[in-house]
Amino acid sequence: MSENGDRPTRQRVTLTDISSRAWEHPADRGALVALRQLKGFDYLLRKMSGMINERAFRLQFLGGAIRVDERQFPTVHRLYTEAAATLDVRQLPELYVTNSPIWNAMTIGMDKPFIVVNSALIQGMDEEELRFVLGHELGHAQSGHALYQSLLLWLMRLTGALNWMPIGALGLRAIVAALHEWSRKAELSGDRAGLLAAQDPAVALRVQMKLASGGQLGELDTTTFLAQGTEYESAGDLRDSVLKLLLLEAQSHPMAVIRAHELRRWVDEGEYTTIVSGDYPKRQDDANASISQEAKNAAKSYTDAFNRSQDPLAKLLRDLGDGLGGVRDWVSSRFPPRN
């Protein structure tokens, strides 16, 4: 693992009793609040864990990877416990390091989630960047994403098995597409948790730059990298808009440049600063979270994203809406309703 060199140790605020709702993206949070209050849903998914064979997953890593503790990967263990303390995580999931050249980490399991970090990330990240990665995965664990991600994996396997049934496959494809959209928003939630664990936006940005480049940070420019996100959102014509929709349909993660763009927006809008200043939802209030209010927040999030989007298709739809609104106003002025 890369060293921090002469970088000073940062003092981080401990976010005591913080609820996962603090970092969850509105579209992610709305679904989670509803499912948490849906009696029996967690039980049903856990019963399905037999089909996913969670025990086999854990045994695979127990037998073929390294379980992190004070004696194995001690630096990773220290960063992990520190990230957990910052996010006030009181029950640490097991953490494994597995041999893989792919830059990835994941939180899996239903009854007892655990975290797996690929060796490429350990080698490619410095300590503060790894703190962000571990905070990201702890955010997934605290939000309960592992439970629903396991369902997504199971449904994807089922979709492949039913491809010979056009109607059944189409229905499952729609469900899987919706779960992929949820998964992408859950990744944005994880990024926010990672930032709250690291409490340094520059670190969060470096992680995304390394993920996009394979670690070639010295060859990159921060301003240009962020500008790519703006260009992705606004460049091209309607053909590019459709292509972006098709490219995203089967993606469980947003693209790295877009993740950086979204996290920067979250910081710029002030929510991150509000949380580290001590103003955030507390976990003891989770049971009282309003499903209807979270649904409104989710809808507002999509509406705001649509309204500020510079994507050609979004601009066309807004123009059409404005045009139809103008026609409606003209008709109303010429033919007022009778009393």
CB environment 141-151: b (16+ within 10 A), e (fewer): bbbbbbbbbbb
Q: Give how far Cα 270 sits from Cα of 5, 264, 267, 275, Å.
A: 31, 10, 5, 9
Cβ 215 vs Cβ 146: under 8 Å: no
- Give the bridge partners for 106, in sequence order: 116
How large is the C-alpha radius of gyration of the chain?
A: 22
Per the structure block, which two tokens stand in for 2?
Answer: 């890369």
Sorted by sequence, the CB contacts under 8 Å of residue 241 that are 6+ apart come out as 311, 312, 313, 314
Q: Is 271 a catalytic residue?
A: no
Per the structure block, which two tokens stand in for 65?
Answer: 């990877």
Catalytic site residue from 128, 137, 187, 294: 137
| Whole-number Å distance between alpha carbons of 206 and 198 | 12
Half-sphere exposure of 171 (CA within 13 A, CB side): 5
Question: Tokens 């605290």 label which residue?
Answer: 142
Per the structure block, which two tokens stand in for 288?
Answer: 């009282």
Cβ 228 vs Cβ 295: under 8 Å: no
| Whole-number Å distance between alpha carbons of 285 and 314 | 37
* Torsion angle, alpha carbons of 183, 187, 189, 193, to 10: 140
Residues with catalytic function: 137
